[in-house]
Structure formats: C-alpha cells, structure tokens
Amino acid sequence: MTENPLAHRLDYTLDELDDGALTASPLALLRRWLDDASDLPEPNAMVVSTVDAEARPTSRTVLLRGVDDDGALWFFTNRLSRKGRALAANPSVSILFPWYALQRQVIVLGTATPLPAERDDAYFASRPRGSQLSAWASHQSEPVASRAALEEQMAELGARFPGDEPVPRPPHWGGYRVDAREIEFWQGRPSRLHDRIVFTRDDPAGEWAAVRRQP
C-alpha cells in the first residue's frame, strides 16, 4: 500500500528561543537567520502576498535583494505585472520566508513603495545579460500564445540589443521597499509547542517592541 504523504508528521526538535531574543534587534536576528539558511537552495526566496483592487489575495515567490538598516526589505519586479498592479492598488504586503529544512519561518508585514530610479538602474545594470533581455521580452502575467512565441520575443530583443551593447532598464521594471511594521520569528519545537517571537512598531522610524506569542 502506498504511504499517504498527508499522514507524514515531522517532529520538530530545535532548542528554545530564550527570552533574550525579546531584547534583540529584529534586523540582526533576521540577518543571522538568513546566514543560517545560506546552504539551502534559494535561501533568500520569499513568498510575497498582495491584495488587489477587488480584494483578491495572491501569492508568489520572489527573491530578497536587500535589507536596509532602517528595517526595509527590497525586491525587484515588472511593475505592470499582477503583483505590480496589486501593489499600486493596495501597498500592504505579507512576506514569508519558508525555511522548512531549518524548522524556521519568518513573516514580515509591511507597506511597499517603489524604489528610486537610481537604485533600480544600479541593480538592473548588475543583472546577467539574459535576465536584462527577459525583463524586456516578457510581458509578465499577460497571456502568451505558446512557448515558441515567448522565445521569439526573446530572440527579437537579442537582435535589438546585439553583442555587448548595454541593455537599458525597461521603464516598467523596478524595485519595491517594504517598510516592516511587524516581524515574526517562528521556530519548531517538540509536541507542536513552537516558539513565536514577534516584533512590532507603529511607524518605520519607531522603536521595536517584542512579545512572545502562543503557538
């Protein structure tokens, strides 16, 4: 008989997050956990959830590209994509780092605002050439007739910017900074009596307050 994968249960075994975590900097703790995840595939992958103008939630995985000292996380995307349109309608976001292999997760709640053009330009210039071309070729989230049609769009962009010619940043492509107002650190513990340490602040320039929540 085939084992039912839904019946599998993992016994979490991590040590306790002691009360000293309540007095720590959430940014320092986030950076430490990111370092701890560095051996995982795509350790900076995060699930970004948005709500559009019709109050419909959607989630997708993007890559964290930086954490500012003031507590803002930033990522890049096509601003005409589904997520970009949702953020234009409602800038509130939820971010999840799902580090299952480490028995940890981090949830960040905050507000997204577009990054300045100079930061967009600097990051776009650092991308591999193929990624630069695909930012032009892909009308992200829009229907496409076939994979062949998508490849044809890419080939046309290769002809438009041949050889080593610099590829400019598309005007619709750029980054967002998410100013965190809440950061929750979750760590698996035996008997499902998990640890949850939550940091909150009233505004991006405010002080963090920490509390332990029941699992």
> Helices (DSSP H) in 25-177: which residue ranges?
26-36, 82-89, 117-126, 129-137, 147-160
192 annotated among ligand-binding-site residues = yes
Judge residue 34's burial from the number of C-beta atoms within 10 Å of its C-beta, 0-12 exposed, 13-18 middle, 19 or more buried: middle
194 annotated among ligand-binding-site residues = yes
213 annotated among ligand-binding-site residues = no
User: Has 129 been annotated as catalytic?
Assistant: no
Is residue 106 helix, strand or coil?
A: strand
39 annotated among ligand-binding-site residues = no
Instruction: Give the integer Cα–Cα distance in Å for 2 and 7.
Output: 11
With contact defined as beta carbons under 8 Å apart, do 63 and 48 qualify?
Answer: no
140 annotated among ligand-binding-site residues = yes
102 annotated among ligand-binding-site residues = no
61 annotated among ligand-binding-site residues = yes
141 annotated among ligand-binding-site residues = yes
127 annotated among ligand-binding-site residues = yes
Name the catalytic one among 32, 160, 192, 213: 192
Is residue 196 helix, strand or coil?
A: strand
With contact defined as beta carbons under 8 Å apart, do 100 and 64 qualify?
Answer: no
CA angle 20, 193, 6 (to 5 degrees): 135
Instruction: Give the integer Cα–Cα distance in Å for 64 and 54.
Output: 27
82 annotated among ligand-binding-site residues = yes
Which residues contribute to the annotated binding site?
A: 9-12, 60-65, 76-77, 82-83, 105, 123, 127, 131, 140-141, 186, 192-194, 196
Catalytic residues: 192
Which residues contribute to the annotated binding site for FMN?
A: 60-65, 76-77, 82-83, 105, 140-141, 186, 196
Which residues contribute to the annotated binding site for substrate?
A: 9-12, 65, 123, 127, 131, 192-194
